[in-house]
Homo-oligomer: A and B are copies of this chain.
């Protein structure tokens, strides 16, 4: 049983990484098999629904990783400003560590197929919504009022997603630094307004 779970998890981890790097459409089942090292039979056994089913699992994995990252950064930060700085810095470090190949784990899949596949569309929507919620709750804990925190959380997630896209394309971290400055200003101003 442990082995079976292993190969399922390996398959999902490999798929998540490939979808992040090259997208859903550019990833063949064969690529996932090769990257995971899992036997072909286990792939068909665990994922009778094929690539779409693997994608759902990979989206769930990416969702969980980003959510955990946001929670962890929120716990390690002492103010809304340091929170958004640390989000930008942490994401920038991950992007650089992957040689600018791994930005947001869900963005590519979301753009490619979210409007064409109801199941994957819902999964990416739910993931982004959950990330926004974590950001919003952190902002509220740092003293921003609930209404402003909701709008700021959406803007912050957009800012991070867009900066990851630009930084990946430029292969440099300038967009992450500009995003960081803009987000600090946003939460500083929101704090001011709410007090």
Q: Which residue numbers of A lie inside 8 Å of B, CB to CB?
A: 21-26, 100-101, 103, 107-108, 110-116, 121, 124-125, 128-129, 151-152, 154-155, 157-163, 165-166, 168-171, 174-175, 177-179, 181-182, 185-186, 189
Q: Which residue from B26, B155, B159 sits with its C-beta under 8 Å from A112?
A: B26
Q: Pick 5 A–B contacts, CB within 8 A, sort by A.
A: A22-B25, A23-B25, A125-B170, A158-B179, A182-B182
Question: How many angstroms between the C-alpha atoms of A166 and B110 in the bound complex?
Answer: 9
As for how many copies of this chain the complex holds, the number is: 2
A114, A158, A163, A189: which has the most chain B beta carbons within 10 Å?
A158
**Cβ–Cβ contact B128 & A155, under 8 A:** no
Known: A26-B25, A170-B128, A179-B158. A111 touches B165 (CB 8 A): yes
Instruction: Report the minimal beta-carbon distance from A135 to chain B, rounded to whole angstroms.
Output: 12
**Which residues in B have their C-beta under 8 angstroms from that of A159?**
155, 158-159, 162, 182
Q: Which residue from B113, B163, B181 sits with its C-beta under 8 Å from A162?
A: B163
**Cβ–Cβ contact B23 & A112, under 8 A:** yes
**Which residues in B have their C-beta under 8 angstroms from that of A165?**
107, 110-111, 158, 161-162, 165
**Cβ–Cβ contact B115 & A168, under 8 A:** yes
Question: How many angstroms between the C-alpha atoms of A166 and B23 in the bound complex?
Answer: 17
In the complex, the 3 A-B pairs of residues with the closest C-beta atoms, listed nearest first: A162-B162, A158-B162, A25-B25
